[in-house]
Amino acid sequence: MEDIENINDLIKIVPDTSSIVENSVEKIIKELNYPEIIIPEAVIAELEYQANKERFTGINGLKHLENLHKLEENGKISITFTGRRPNNYEISLSKTGEIDAMIRDVAKAELATLITSDKIQSLVAKAQGINVIYIPQDLKDYSKLKIHDFFDDETMSVHLKENVVPMAKKGRPGNINLVKLSDEKLTYNYLQELIDEIIESSSHDFKSYVEMDMEGAKVIQSREFRISIAKPPFSEGLEITAVRPVANVSIYEYELSDMLIEKLKNNSNGILISGSPGAGKSTFAQALAEFYSNEMNKIVKTMESPRDLQVPDEITQYSPLEGSMEKTSDLLLLVRPDFTIYDELRKTDDFHIFADMRLAGVGMVGVVHATKPIDGIQRIASRVELGIIPSIVDTNIFIEDGEIKAVYETNLTVKVPSGMKEADLARPVIEVRDFKTKELKNEIYTYGEQTIVMDIDLLNSPETIKKKSSLENIAEKEILKEVKKILPKSRVKIEFVSEDRIDVYIEEKYIPKFIGKGGKRIDKLENKLGISIGVELIDDLNKNVESNQDPLYLKVDKSKKFLNLYFPKKSIGDSFEIYAGDVYLFTATVGKNSIVRIRTNLELSDAILDSLELNVPIIANKI
């Protein structure tokens, strides 16, 4: 033990919180003759606070205090409590040293020796002239926890819950099976033992840390294991889920073509790795990180929350700095790595950070959930300016069943989008092509205020050609929305004359307003939508369809949150214009329960209820 010369001369001892938690006091008093243990109230308050937060340190410390009382009952020591109890604010500042200062004050007032397992506390006490004994924490081996016994070489995750048999997912991406590990159901007490050990390791093992700590839920990264703990009130029972990566493969095991290897080496600086959960995205990201670090001699960092990629020591793994990935990115922009692996992109902020770092010149590899190859690009397209997408993402690698199923590349061009014909409809278009065949797979462009992601294979399929044209499918709702902005009270119908021209049918009294003075308003709308517009009387259109389409008089009732408009079951999936008498209200598509619901807190709901009170029917006309 450090700082101990004449241990038998110790009469008064003041332990701090760390020495109680580490059981350092019991180690000393075995060599002493009836010492007086003076426990500051600040220690009790801090342990109680930690225990109420279900932290292992608090619970363990209170147990050790209980053991000290047993020694007092056996006549080995005496225990007294003294000092002021800190308030909640002071306890919340414990990390800044407020509680430690109160404990040192007690040691000075009592002319006692301070016992601590906190190196900083020891140094400060010595600086203040306080007698102190520093007892370092015992270094335990946390590389092998009890929960590790549930894992073997093929286990990806373990699922433990009270009153349920233990289960595990085993295999490799593309061939994963859920298997039962035992026929014996797990007990609450056994799971709590596992949890206590896991939490203790997070406090003492420098390779373990708490990712999230909330009421009823805790996530701990214990070396390569990510362990999630759930308990009431968050869950109805005690549950532990432990996950770890099982595959550590080289990029060459994916049998990449020489052309793709060359692209990854020289021409890819913005890469998305996409795929469904369990497909093997993170495994490929690890292989790519190792490829850049070891073979390309690049400086590679990672941004992870939690940090669970298994990468070589040369690659530094960063988590959210002070809880913020934006702060982590600010640091990385100063470090200037060659490549950063961002695992994984979920929220809008993640995509913005990815884009900002890429535009700042950092090579970026992002991992994103997607069920189709285009989904990853589509998710970033909805969050950033269209024209800069190729500068952010030049390569999209889609992983399925642990294999690379598709590689797409992006580029920006100006052209008439597929399915449109007139030259004046040309606009900036992001082309998404198959990297190997150079076949055009998708186009991304803006139409009015909407970002369109066009599937070229679907566009050219016989089924699509037999139905409405691609422009009709894209434009109908967008055009109707724009017309309704100008004429909110008029009945409106749209009819496609060709792929580049429509007729808008409105009431006669609204035609001047729609066209505008000198035709300026309709010209502006044509330029915005990129399509020619003709104007016709809606009464003429109604004469043509009157015999084929009878209006529906809708039943309406009100629930706590919604107005419910009931349609015939044959109307499911059809679109209707809804009127109160002859006043247009809105356009809706009938849902799977043949009901259209409107929230009761909207002005639209009030208008419908007011109409019903005046015996004005609610009518639906099929579009």
* CATH number of the structural domain spanning residue 237: 3.30.450.90
Q: Given the DSSP bridges, would you call strands 208-214 and 217-222 parallel, antiparallel or unpaired?
A: antiparallel
CATH of residue 499? 3.30.300.20
- Does 163 lie in the same domain as 82? no
Whether the Cβ atoms of residue 224 and residue 244 lie closer than 8 Å to each other: yes
Angstrom distance (rounded) from CA 437 to CA 372:
18
Among the ranges 294-298, 448-452, 513-517, 608-612, which has the highest mean pLDDT value?
294-298
Task: Among 527, 545, 563, identify where a domain stops.
Answer: 545
Are 93 and 127 members of one domain?
A: yes
217: pLDDT strictly greater than 90: no
Helices (H), strands (E): how many in the chain? 21, 32
Q: What is the pLDDT of residues 219-250, one digit of tens each?
A: 888 888 889 999 988 899 999 999 887 666 78
Say if residue 511 is in the same domain as residue 489.
yes
pLDDT band at 540 (very low <50, low <70, confident <90, very high): low
Mark whether 369 and 477 lie in a shared domain: no
pLDDT at 588: 82
Residues 238, 273: one domain?
Answer: no
536 and 559 belong to one structural domain = no
Residue whose entry in the numeric block shows the structure tokens 């147990």: 63
Q: Are 443 and 370 in a shared domain?
A: yes
**Burial per residue of 578-598, b for 16 or more beta-carbon CB atoms within 10 angstroms, e otherwise:** bbbeeebbbbbebeeebebeb
Domain extent, residue 296, equals: 251-459
Residue 153 domain-assigned (yes or no): yes
Whole-number average pLDDT of the chain: 84
Q: Are residues 263 and 357 in the same domain?
A: yes
Q: How confident is the model at residue 287 (pLDDT cuts 50, 70, 90)?
A: very high
Which amino acid, 19?
S
CA angle 600/603/607 to nearest 5° reads: 90
Alpha carbons within 13 angstroms on the beta-carbon side of residue 69 total: 7
| pLDDT over 90 at 166, yes or no | yes
Q: Which residues pair with 15 in a beta bridge?
A: 115
Does the model's pTM come out above 0.85? Answer: no
Please calculate the CA angle 308-314-316 and round it to the nearest 5 degrees. 45
Let me know whether 541 and 556 are in one domain.
no
- The residue from 134, 160, 177 where one domain ends is 134
438 belongs to a structural domain: yes
For position 423, what pLDDT does the model report? 61
End position of a domain, from candidates 510, 527, 545: 545
Q: Which of 186-190, 198-202, 265-269 has the lowest mean pLDDT?
A: 198-202
Give the helix ranges, DSSP H, for 153-280.
188-204, 258-266
Which of these ranges, 424-438, 557-571, 605-619, has the smallest mean pLDDT?
A: 605-619
Q: What's the Rg (C-alpha) of the chain?
A: 34
Q: How far apart are the first and last CA of the chain?
A: 86
Judge whether 465 lies within some domain: no
| 307 within 8 A of 344, measured Cβ to Cβ | no
Can you give the CATH number for the domain in which 322 is found?
3.40.50.300
Are residues 177 and 70 part of one domain? Answer: no
DSSP SS3 for 301 = strand
Q: Report if residue 579 sits inside a domain.
A: yes
At residue 2, the pLDDT reads 46
For residues 385-399, give the mean pLDDT: 91
- Strands 395-400 and 427-434: what pairing? unpaired
Residue 451 lies in a domain: yes
358 lies in some domain: yes
- Cβ(283)–Cβ(245) under 8 Å? yes
Do 268 and 382 fall into the same domain?
A: yes
> What is the per-residue pLDDT for 546?
40
- Per the structure, how many domains does the chain have? 5
pLDDT, position 606: 80
173 and 315, same domain (yes or no)? no
Cα gap 160→454, rounded to integer Å:
44
CATH code for position 99: 3.40.50.1010
Residue at 324: amino acid letter:
S
pLDDT at 467 over 80: no
Closest CA to 298 of 359, 339, 340, 343: 339
